[in-house]
Amino acid sequence: MRLTRRTLLGGMAALPVAVRAQSLDYRIEPVEVGDGLWIVRGADAPIERGNGGAIANLAILAGDEAAILIDCGPSLRYGRVLDAVARKLTGKPVGHVFLTHLHPDHGFAAGAFANAEVAGTAEVRRELQATAAGYADGMYRLLGDWMRGTEPVVPAATVTAGERLVAGRRLVFAPMAGHSPADLVVTDVATGTMIAGDLVFHDRAPSTPDADLATWRKTLGTLAAMSHKGLLPGHGPFDPGGQAAIAQTLDWIDWLESSLRGSVAAGLDMVAAGEVAIPARFDGLKAARYELQRSVSHFYPRLEAELFPRADQ
């Protein structure tokens, strides 16, 4: 199931929506976590009007003649602020933007970087081509004026697996899958930092609208074994040790799958499946109940079909 208008509006309806007069200002405050590498943290919350959709993390890297972005935020308005922030920080214009996956909170600001190389894997480009219009519709309905002027951009450039020198900076690109059909992991060689996109969440429950849990589980094993030091998750705080966030994401996915299967087997309906007790070890995960309930809507019909096949089939 896609993060369609219905999914987005469903999420919104579950929240206490206080639509108030507000200024549409994105506050972007980068934090340096390595030499020439800054992170910008998103709000550890669902997409909502209070945060303008700025819920995803992203990275700014200083290159020789240009700044590099790994993901770029949810809207044109956000991208314009980010462009100015990155230029001030690095003293260079943004020359390269790499998108980790198809989701709008990570890549819908790409239109603000018309003069830069905007790149994704061939699979991410295909995913965006297929889904961007639907996601844009959902984002506009959910976020209103925050989105004005935003046009989803399908990256013109293709990035492939392996190491590449980008503006003098050695980056290792590793296309993977699991959180979505096409996820890109980027490792900055100079600092050893892994920028994991939404394959890794940290102290914030994983979102699953396009996930394949079995593939995701395997990919997390691969990430744990890959050479890196610190890790920037797609959502939640930077993990300086590089393993805790991976382990936590895997723990949640394992629990989620067994919980959903258990709920189907016990004959619970979808509402009840979204209300089961969440183990105490996940108390520190933001948006846990919200994401469990969304995951029920993403997986339940498929699991029911699998666990309760028709007697004549």
By the 8 A CB rule, do 98 and 182 touch? Answer: no
With contacts defined by CB under 5 A, how many residues of the chain interact with Zn ion?
A: 2
Q: Which of 191, 150, 153 is nearest to 172 (CA)?
A: 191
- Report, in Å, the least distance between residue 307 CB and Zn ion: 27
- Report, in Å, the least distance between residue 103 CB and Zn ion: 3
- Report, in Å, the least distance between residue 179 CB and Zn ion: 6
- Report, in Å, the least distance between residue 194 CB and Zn ion: 17
Rounded alpha-carbon distances, angstroms, from residue 32 to 40, 109, 199, 238: 9, 22, 22, 11
- Report, in Å, the least distance between residue 211 CB and Zn ion: 9
Q: From start to end of the chain, where are the E strands?
A: 31-34, 37-40, 58-62, 67-70, 94-98, 117-120, 157-158, 162-166, 169-176, 183-188, 193-195, 231-232
The C-alpha atoms of residue 283 and residue 142 are separated, in whole angstroms, by: 28
**Which listed range, 191-199, 216-224, 269-277, 296-304, lies at the site for Zn ion (CB under 5 A)?**
191-199
Q: Which is nearer to Zn ion, 63 or 73 (CB)?
A: 73
291 scored as a contact of Zn ion (CB under 5 A): no
Letter for the amino acid at 34? Answer: G
Q: Which is nearer to Zn ion, 49 or 103 (CB)?
A: 103
Letter for the amino acid at 134? Answer: G
103 scored as a contact of Zn ion (CB under 5 A): yes
198 scored as a contact of Zn ion (CB under 5 A): yes
**Which listed range, 64-72, 112-120, 127-135, 193-201, lies at the site for Zn ion (CB under 5 A)?**
193-201
Cα 224 off chain centre by: 19
The C-alpha atoms of residue 245 and residue 238 are separated, in whole angstroms, by: 9
**Which listed range, 31-39, 98-106, 149-157, 292-300, lies at the site for Zn ion (CB under 5 A)?**
98-106
**Which position's Cβ is nearest Zn ion?**
103
210 scored as a contact of Zn ion (CB under 5 A): no
- Report, in Å, the least distance between residue 267 CB and Zn ion: 32
Backbone angle region of 53, left / alpha / beta, with phi > 0 → left and psi within -120 to 50 → alpha: left
**Which listed range, 157-165, 198-206, 219-227, 279-287, lies at the site for Zn ion (CB under 5 A)?**
198-206
The C-alpha atoms of residue 197 and residue 260 are separated, in whole angstroms, by: 25
Query: ∠ CA 258-45-226 to the nearest 5 degrees?
Result: 60
- Report, in Å, the least distance between residue 240 CB and Zn ion: 23
Q: Which is nearer to Zn ion, 103 or 298 (CB)?
A: 103
**Which listed range, 38-46, 100-108, 158-166, 293-301, lies at the site for Zn ion (CB under 5 A)?**
100-108
Q: Which residues bind Zn ion (CB under 5 A)?
A: 103, 198
